[in-house]
A and B are shown apart, each in its own frame.
Chain A
Amino acid sequence: MEILVLLILMIIGAFIATETRDLLSSVISVGAVGFLLCLAFLYLKAPDIAITQMVVEVLALIILIRATLHRDLTFVKGMRAKLGLGFSLFAVVVVTVLSIPFFQDLPKFGHPLLSEGRSVANFYLQEGLRKTGAANITTSVLLDFRMYDTLGEATILFTSILGALAILRRPSHKKVKEKDKEEALK
């Protein structure tokens, strides 16, 4: 029940974030959605993910407000396309109606398919401490049973930082030299 309230509030926040004209209030409603998601994780008893969500949300908000929000760009100009909104609403309704039969086949909320009998999830819960020695099962899954996945994540982060630095670095040597030449000619 509480999770439903949180989900509805999150959907309202997401709507406000996309529909408002002031970029600052849009960013703030994105932050509200993130904190509600953090509450939802806490309610579902996943403190690891809740901590990660909270911390990353705060940093992302700071970066969004401080680094991308400038005086010149705080308001969205121009008319909103009503035809596009109509089309997207139509698409949402059609997809929802078509996916109702599939929703009925999904397992009930809180009863995942993998938790029955001799499954991987049960194996992690029962043998996690004995196999790895880590009291936190989440960490033992992340850094022992599934360390290959974590290595992939770290590679993705590393590559994306590399790309961001390559795009946003100082002006290249060639441009600096050209500027020096121009100044020397003057």
Chain B
Amino acid sequence: MKEEEKGLSTIVKVVTRWIVGFILLFGIYIVIFGHLTPGGGFPGGVIIAGVFVLLTLSFGREVPLRKLNSTLASELDSFGALVFLLVGILGLYLATYFAQNFITTFPQQYFRPFSAGVIPICNLAIGLKVGASIFMVFIILAVTRVISVGEGRMKMLRKRTGRRRRK
């Protein structure tokens, strides 16, 4: 199967190409400015995962997997979780108790991007983690499908990829 035939129609593909960058930018903004405006790591990460979901829906699943394969996604997931944990443990060593904000913010720094100590770092870590893991869940759910076998019973199948079909 040729690449042009996969996914949805040309209109959807062109609009997706225009819009994907802006959605990604919005997700990154939500993550980075999470301590100043509404948002934070979790919604921003989900928006970033939504970019890849949109690419999967309109171009087929090979295109986003070429940009972010599942190994890299699971590594990013673990990396985000570890950074978040590391910030907590660093609070124990550099300050007094676990998960303490060990970078002090001075009053002239209020309402600036570089403020709030460890909170932006935690937001970035959570954004990475949530984005990678939700993208992985979507890819996993998109390649498996449930079919009904007989009366009331169901079976889970993995959709065949193009590579296998050629064999």
Contacts and interface: CB of A to CB of B under 8 A. Distances in A.
Interface of A: 47-48, 50-52, 55-56, 58-59, 62-63, 66-68, 70, 72-73, 129, 131-136, 138-140, 142-144, 147-148, 150-151, 154-155, 157-158, 161, 164-165, 168-171
Given A135-B111, A157-B130, A140 B119 contact: yes
B167 to A, nearest CB: 11
Given A55-B50, A70-B146, A135-B110, A154 B81 contact: yes
Nearest to B30: A51
B57 A158 contact: no
A52 B31 CA distance: 12
A154 B129 contact: yes
B21 interface: no
B47 interface: yes
A179 to B, nearest CB: 12
Top 5 A-B pairs, shortest CB-CB distance: A133-B105, A67-B141, A134-B116, A47-B38, A147-B99
B110 A133 contact: yes
Given A132-B116, A144-B119, A154-B129, A165 B140 contact: yes
B53 A62 contact: yes
Contacts of A158: 77, 81, 129, 133
A157 B133 contact: yes
A59 B145 contact: no
Which of A55, A73, A151 has its CB near the most chain B CB atoms (within 10 A)? Answer: A55
Contacts of A52: 40, 42-43, 46
B49 interface: yes
Interface string B96-116: 001101001100011100011
Q: Which of B36, B40, B77, B111 has its CB near the most chain A CB atoms (within 10 A)? A: B40
Interface string B109-149: 11100011111001100100110011011101110111110
A133 B111 CA distance: 8
A164 B140 contact: yes
B158 interface: yes
B59 interface: no
Contacts of B122: 143, 147, 150
A67 B142 contact: yes
